[in-house]
C-alpha cells in the first residue's frame, strides 16, 4: 500500500477549480518529482496535501498511511509526518536560528541540522533569523528545520521563477538527507538535473496529472510539447 494515495481530488478556491480529478500515488521512501507549467496547480496540490487553509478537497480522497486525511487540520497532518517547505523561505524576526530549529523538536542537535544543509554552525547558530540573512541562507535554514522534524513525507515547493535560492547540487544534497531518513519526497521543481534523480515523475496540467512514470521519459514528453502541453488531454503512463 502506498504511503500517499490521492484519488481523483477536486479542489476549488473561490469558484475556480484548481485541481480537477487529480490522481497520484507515492510509495514509502519514494522521491517523486512534479513538473508542470506555471499556474498548473502544483503549489495548490502541495497546500492541499498539507491541509492549508482554503485548500479543502471537494471530492475524491487523500489517504496517508492507510488513513483518509481529507478532514484533518494542518497540525494533525503535521503530526502524522507530513511537512511542507514553502516557496518563500521563512522570515521570523526576533528569534535566533538555534531557537527556530529546536523549538519544533526539543532534543535535536541544531549544529548537526545546520551541517546537513551546508551551513557552518559556528557562523549561524546564534544569528537572528532576520533580513540580514540572504534568501538562500533562509531557505537552507528552513530545510534544516524540515530535516529536524524527520518527516515521513516532505513536500518541497521550489520557486517558479526568478532567482534560484538554492543550486541544483544543494537540493540534491537535501534530498539525499531525506533519503537517508527513509522519508518520501514530493519535489516540485523545474530543474531537470533534479528530476533525473527522482524515482518517478509526474506532469501536472490544468489541475490534472497528464503523465506519470520514469523521470527521463516524463521530462522528454514535457519538452517535446514545448509549452503547449496543456492544450491536449493526454493521459499516459511512461
Residues that bind ligand ADP in the complex, under the rule CB under 6 A: 13-14, 16, 18, 36, 38-44, 160
Which set of grid coordinates corresponds to residue 202?
Answer: 509526474
Among ligand ADP, Mg ion, none, partner that 83 touches (CB below 5 to 8 angstroms by kind): none
Select 142 or 157, whichever has its Cβ closest to ligand ADP. 157
Binding part of the chain for Mg ion, among 11-19, 36-44, 121-129, 169-177 by CB under 5 A, reads: 36-44
Select 43 or 212, whichever has its Cβ closest to Mg ion. 43
Binding part of the chain for Mg ion, among 25-33, 38-46, 136-144, 145-153 by CB under 5 A, reads: 38-46
Select 98 or 206, whichever has its Cβ closest to ligand ADP. 206
Among Mg ion, ligand ADP, none, partner that 44 touches (CB below 5 to 8 angstroms by kind): ligand ADP
Minimum Å distance from CB 86 to ligand ADP?
12
Question: Shortest CA distance to 109 belongs to which of 136, 158, 145, 161?
Answer: 145
Burial class (CB in 10 A: 0-12, 13-18, 19+), 25: middle
3-state secondary structure of 7: strand
Residue 200 CB partners (closer than 8 Å, separation 6+): 26, 30, 31, 32, 33, 212, 213, 214, 215
Strand order in the sheet with 4-13: 16-26, 4-13, 59-64, 67-68
Contact yes or no for 175/103 (Cβ under 8 A): no
Select 38 or 132, whichever has its Cβ closest to ligand ADP. 38
Select 43 or 200, whichever has its Cβ closest to Mg ion. 43
Among Mg ion, ligand ADP, none, partner that 41 touches (CB below 5 to 8 angstroms by kind): ligand ADP
Minimum Å distance from CB 231 to ligand ADP?
16
Which set of grid coordinates corresponds to residue 201?
Answer: 515523475
Among Mg ion, ligand ADP, none, partner that 14 touches (CB below 5 to 8 angstroms by kind): ligand ADP
Select 108 or 234, whichever has its Cβ closest to ligand ADP. 234
Long-range contacts for 56-59 (Cβ within 8 Å, ≥24 apart)? 56/11, 57/9, 57/10, 57/11, 58/10, 58/11, 58/12, 59/8, 59/9, 59/10
Residue 43 as a binder of Mg ion (CB under 5 A): the answer is: yes
Q: Which residues bind Mg ion (CB under 5 A)?
A: 42-43
Amino acid at each position: 500500500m502506498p504511503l500517499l494515495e490521492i484519488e481523483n481530488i477536486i479542489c476549488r478556491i473561490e469558484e475556480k477549480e484548481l485541481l480537477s480529478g487529480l490522481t497520484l500515488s507515492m510509495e514509502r521512501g519514494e522521491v517523486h518529482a512534479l513538473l508542470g507549467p506555471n499556474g498548473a496547480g502544483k503549489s495548490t496540490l502541495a497546500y492541499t496535501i498539507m491541509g492549508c487553509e482554503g485548500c479543502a478537497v471537494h471530492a475524491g480522497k487523500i489517504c496517508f498511511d492507510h488513513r483518509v486525511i481529507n478532514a484533518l487540520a494542518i497540525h494533525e497532518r503535521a503530526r502524522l509526518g507530513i511537512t511542507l517547505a514553502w516557496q518563500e523561505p521563512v522570515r521570523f524576526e526576533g528569534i535566533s536560528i538555534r531557537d527556530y530549529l529546536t523549538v519544533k523538536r526539543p532534543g535535536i542537535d541544531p549544529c548537526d541540522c545546520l551541517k546537513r544543509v551546508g551551513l557552518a554552525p559556528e557562523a549561524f547558530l546564534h544569528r537572528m533569523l532576520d533580513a540580514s540573512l540572504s534568501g538562500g541562507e533562509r531557505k537552507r535554514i528552513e530545510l534544516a528545520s524540515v530535516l529536524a522534524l524527520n518527516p515521513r513525507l516532505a513536500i518541497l515547493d521550489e520557486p517558479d521563477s526568478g532567482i534560484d535560492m538554492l543550486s541544483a547540487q544543494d537540493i540534491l544534497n537535501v534530498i539525499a538527507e531525506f533519503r537517508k531518513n527513509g522519508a518520501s519526497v514530493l519535489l516540485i521543481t523545474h530543474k531537470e538535473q533534479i528530476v533525473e534523480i527522482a524515482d518517478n515523475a509526474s506532469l501536472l496540467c490544468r489541475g490534472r496529472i497528464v503523465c506519470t512514470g520514469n523521470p527521463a521519459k516524463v521530462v522528454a514528453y514535457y519538452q517535446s510539447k514545448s509549452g503547449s502541453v496543456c492544450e491536449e488531454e493526454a493521459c499516459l503512463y511512461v
